[in-house]
A and B are shown apart, each in its own frame.
Chain A
Amino acid sequence: MPPDLDERIRRLARKPVSVCPDAAGRSVISVKDIARLSAEVGMAGKALALRALKMGIIPERYVRNMDTLSPADQVRLLKSHAAVIGLGGLGGTVTEILARAGVGTLTLVDHDSFEDHNLNRQIMSSEANLGESKADVAMKRVQEIDHFLDVHVHGGYLSEENAHVLVQGADVIVDCLDSIPARFVLQRIAGETDRPFVSAAVAGMSAHVMTIFPGDPGLEVLYGNPLDAPEKGIETVIGTLPQTAIMTAGIEGSEVIKVLLNKGRPIRGGILMIDLQENSFELMTLD
């Protein structure tokens, strides 16, 4: 770290020009200034953002996270690692949310490529990227949003053999899969490695979300015995609408952030059952 680093950060800091007049008098530093300083001093942008936050200077990209998130929360998110498994209707939007919120390290896994039938709800799909790997597109998207974040991608299947390695180092495992047996594999790995597991599923205009800590009741309350669980649910018959996928991913992303920050009340020991047809959001108890 250059000896005059703090002084250089301080010189680049300024008062926010427009929004957040109530940002408690904090100074901000822009994306461009962090990038320039990163090139000048040979330090990663994320490390500079962390240094600025510790000095009470907010990277301006996070200023609208304040004060729902404190600078200390922002530091904690930047030092966190989330593994998002499945990058379709849920995972694409969850990734977008976590990247924008400032989760510092993301592991993104999906074996699939974008196809026409993804376009109705998968936020990272477009006509231009049909046929491209979802993992590669997600990586590119995250780097477009925030090139300071660390991103690891795996464009192959999650299996019993590789799951442990794929989620290594993650503070939270996020289940955005579309295969019920694969969801069970992921839940087991989360339990074995003592990590929280956020799981959601969608079909038509309905969804459910749960946050499972090791030892909590888990997916078996929904799908029964893992050995006997079906591959898919009713989504094969009723599809999934965009509003369901994107809204549910919003709730799933929110759970991940609460878990990483140990803030708020996650959907723990319960399950949030959603039916947009009825505008029904029911938090039910599992025990």
Chain B
Amino acid sequence: MHVSVKLYSILVKYMPENAASYPIPEGASLSHLIRALDIPEKIHKGLVVFVNGRIVKDLDTNLADRDEVKMFIAIGGG
């Protein structure tokens, strides 16, 4: 199956070339996708992930074909 992936801020460097239709195994989880994108483990905790516009806190959530995944990173500057 395929999902669309959009990454923001410091995550932009992990955007794959085929982000608009990124292949992942059937029923793969968000954490599978995050690992496949090579996003380093140390920043996983700060990820703020939205699937189809809604926040998803549990990275074990399974994705569905054509899901739209957007990932930001929490920031704290004032």
A contacts, CB < 8 Å to B: 86, 88-91, 175-180, 183, 200-208, 221-224, 230-235, 237-238, 240, 271, 273, 275, 277-278, 280, 282, 284-287
User: What separation, in Å, do the CA atoms of A178 and B57 have in the docked complex?
Assistant: 23
4 cross-chain pairs, A with B, having the tightest CB-CB distances, nearest first: A235-B77, A233-B76, A203-B75, A178-B78
B78 near A233 with CB under 8 A, answer no
**Residue of A at shortest CB range from B72?**
A273
A282 to B9: give the CA distance in the assembly, Å: 13
| A202 lies within 8 A of B8 (CB) | no
Main secondary structure of the interface of A (DSSP, over half): mixed
Instruction: Establish whether residues B75 and A202, one from each chain, have CB atoms under 8 Å apart when the complex forms.
Output: yes
- A206 in contact with B72 (CB, 8 Å): yes
Q: With A273-B72, A284-B53, A287-B55 in contact, do A89 and B77 touch (Cβ < 8 Å)?
A: yes
Residues 41-71 of B at the A interface (beta carbon under 8 Å):
45-46, 48, 50, 53-55, 57, 70
What are some 26 contacts across the A-B interface (CB < 8 A)? A89-B77, A90-B78, A176-B78, A200-B78, A201-B75, A201-B77, A203-B9, A203-B76, A204-B10, A206-B72, A206-B73, A206-B75, A207-B75, A208-B72, A208-B75, A221-B57, A222-B74, A231-B76, A233-B75, A235-B77, A275-B72, A282-B70, A284-B50, A285-B53, A286-B55, A287-B55
Chain B contact residues, CB within 8 Å of chain A? 8-10, 12, 45-46, 48, 50, 53-55, 57, 70, 72-78
| CB-based contact A232/B9 at 8 Å | no
Inter-chain CB contacts under 8 Å: number: 99
**B70, B75, B78: the one within 8 Å of A234 (CB):** B75
Chain B interface mostly helix, strand, loop or mixed?
Answer: mixed
Whether A233 contacts B10 by the Cβ 8 Å rule is: no
Residues of A contacting B75 in the complex (Cβ-Cβ under 8 angstroms): 201-203, 206-208, 233-235
Besides the contacts A286-B55, A287-B54, what 17 more A-B pairs have beta carbons closer than 8 Å? Answer: A89-B78, A201-B76, A203-B9, A208-B74, A222-B74, A223-B76, A224-B45, A230-B46, A233-B73, A233-B74, A233-B75, A238-B10, A277-B9, A278-B8, A278-B12, A282-B50, A284-B54
Find chain B residues with CB under 8 A from A175 CB.
78
B66–chain A nearest beta-carbon distance, Å: 18
Among A175, A176, A183, A201, which residue has the most Cβ atoms of chain B within 10 A?
Answer: A201
* CB–CB B78/A177 < 8 A: yes
Name the B residues within 8 Å of A183 (CB-CB).
Answer: 76
A223 contacts across to B, CB distance below 8 A: 74, 76
Cβ B46 vs Cβ A284 within 8 A: no
Closest to A245 in B: B77
How far apart are the CA atoms of A287 and B48 in the complex, in Å? 13
| Alpha-carbon distance A275/B75, docked complex (angstroms) | 12
